[in-house]
Amino acid sequence: LRWAYREKLIERVPDFDLPSNYTRAEKRPSRRPYFTRNEWNILTNKLPAWTEKPSDKNHRYARRMMRYFILIMANSGLRTDEAEKIKWKDIAYYTSNGEDHVKIMVPEDTKTGSRENVCMPNVIDYLARLKNVSNFTEPEDYVFTTFKGTPFKRKWRSFRRMLTEFEMLKDSYGDERTPYSLRHTYITFRILIGGVEWGTLANNAGTSVKMIQDHYNHITNEMATTELTAFRNNPNALAEG
């Protein structure tokens, strides 16, 4: 309005009387740390050697679980507490349009209740490889386990140590990554690369469209790169010199 007044588009800036009980709106939720495409390539290239480095079999088993936890989480969008409760019986393989797919039945006793989570196709391979290194592969066994078969829960600290070793703990904004960053990476990639409609993505991830809009709206600028950098007539209009 002040700009309009300066440009003589309006005669005066109107006064607005706010209600006495007016309070400033809460700060908009911030963007959530994730891995960029380049960072994801670096991470996954470092994982194999890091996984097999320990000589202790228990330690090596835990790192193998962490490796496939990372790969499957980033390709499914599961929450960490959902992944902890997944059993082999909750995994279903099917064919759609002539292609093989896999979905995970998220248990009822999770944050948003039961739902079908359709994973990226490469999860089929990750699950097969995980099964080859796991000591617990019966239908009632957990997918991610400790060496003793209990749910794989103590991962936050080891995830942090791993990223610190890889010099990838913080994103470019200085925010620290956690296992939840794998879910954020999945959602980001599905919007940015997959072009998935937000409602469909929200249903698959067990969240709301509003939540995606609040936390992932920054992605729309990268999606609109072509439009934002296009010039109608002279592409070098703002070039140096």
Please report the pLDDT score of residue 231 as a whole number.
56
State yes or no: pLDDT of 14 exceeds 60. no
Please report the pLDDT score of residue 5 as a whole number.
47
Alpha helices in 79-155, H assignment, sequence order? 80-85, 123-133
**Gap between the Cα atoms of 178 and 167, Å rounded:** 14
Cα dihedral angle (61, 67, 69, 71), rounded to 10 degrees?
-150
Q: What is the pLDDT of residues 162-205, one digit of tens each?
A: 999 999 999 988 999 999 999 999 999 998 888 899 999 999 99
